[in-house]
Amino acid sequence: NGRSYMQLLEGQAANVEAAFATIKNDPHHRSIETVLERTVNSRSFPESAMLGLNLVSSPFERRRAIAGLVPDKAEKDIRTML
C-alpha cells in the first residue's frame, strides 16, 4: 500500500533501545508493533546498515523478495518471521 514499513534493529542493546525510542517518538511513525525482541550472539545483517525494498507487489512476491535479502547465516527466528 506504500505506507507500510518493516524494520529490523540490531546492535548493542542500549543503541537499539535509543533508536527504537526515537522511532516511537517521531510523529511520522504510527501503529508501531514489536514483532520479535531478543538477544543474539551476532548480527543477522552485519554487512548492511539499511536495506530498502518496494513492498507494493503481491504478498507472495513480497515474501520471496524479503527472504532473498536475508543472509544464509541469519538466525532461524529471522527466517521464520518472514
Give, in order, the Cα–Cα distances in Å from 27 to each of 8, 15, 30, 49, 64: 19, 20, 7, 23, 31
pLDDT digits (tens, 9 = 90+) for 2-37: 567 778 888 888 999 999 999 999 998 888 888 888
Tens digit of pLDDT for each residue in 44-53?
777 777 766 6
pTM of the entire predicted model: 0.61
* Contact between 8 and 43 (Cβ < 8 Å): no
